[in-house]
Amino acid sequence: MSFFEPTSRILYDQNFIDAGCPEADYNQDFELDGTVGTWSTNFAIAFVGVVAFVKLGSYGCATASHYINVLMPYFFLAMGISFFVAAIGHIVVTSRSQKQSKAIFEVITSVFFGGSSILLALYGLALVNICMLSHETWKKGIWWTTLTLLTAVGIYAAFEMMAAISFMGMLVYLTTTVLYLVARPKIYVIKALGTLIMLASLVIQIILRTKCGDPAYVDCFKNCPFNNPMEFNHNGLFHVVYLVGIAILFVAEDRNPSVVTDNGVTETSAEKPNEIDSIP
């Protein structure tokens, strides 16, 4: 689903024809954004999310005392579920008349996407040794405040303002990028690059939606850089760039987990590089 186009995800409609645009490009039986480029890339992201969850989560089975912090695997799982549900929604919801079905898919997508952002935000805090079990009161305060605020935004966005969930994701990706650079775990530059690309994907979608989305009807999409938005549009590009970002983050975290929990103590890989390297 497109969080920045919550009204309809219309691709071509009667307004397009009324504006003098080619009628041949209008499919009266298919009003919404269900392009192959959109839903197929959604499935690709979901696949990477599940693979990352399984692979990163497998470290927890290696030994009971030394495993990767669970926040990162579950970030990938929640993110993967959100894009999987979105893909199904793009295929199933093909008309503006299916308002209830569309709303259900968008709420589920938003809940899981928001949940993934919260998990990544808490993982970012763990990079600088801020967690729920921190001994310092101020660290606990930051952790609980972050969790409370992001949860509140996520709930509000899911039911009132879909765009807010993407803005929350952008803020989390930016913050996590900065925290990677501050904490400097092993291969932190690659990890920061991954989250930065994820942020860039959302920025790209915002910029192109005015040229390829609903607002572009009035000029027949003449400024849209894609030759055939019916096959691949700005949402498809957003997904492809996002896919690159999460793939980089997954590979980097799989190679050298940034945050590990050892006998209940959470530390970054910068503090225990030798033990991190020994993880199978």
- pLDDT tens-place values along the chain, 280 residues long: 454 443 344 556 666 667 767 666 555 555 555 677 788 889 999 999 999 999 887 655 333 333 447 889 999 999 999 999 988 888 887 666 677 877 888 888 889 999 999 999 999 998 888 888 778 889 889 999 999 999 998 888 777 667 788 889 999 999 999 999 999 988 999 999 999 999 999 999 888 888 877 677 667 777 888 777 767 778 888 999 999 999 999 999 988 888 765 544 445 555 444 443 433 3
Closest to 1 (Cα-Cα) out of 113, 156, 119 = 113
**Can you tell me the distance from the alpha carbon of 154 to that of 166, in angstroms, rounded to the nearest whole number?**
10
Inter-residue long-range contacts of 98-105, CB under 8 Å, 24+ positions, other chains counted: 102/9, 102/32, 105/1
Domain architecture of the chain: domains with CATH? 14-277 (1.20.1070)
Q: What is the pTM of this model?
A: 0.82
Residue 66: its pLDDT value, please?
39
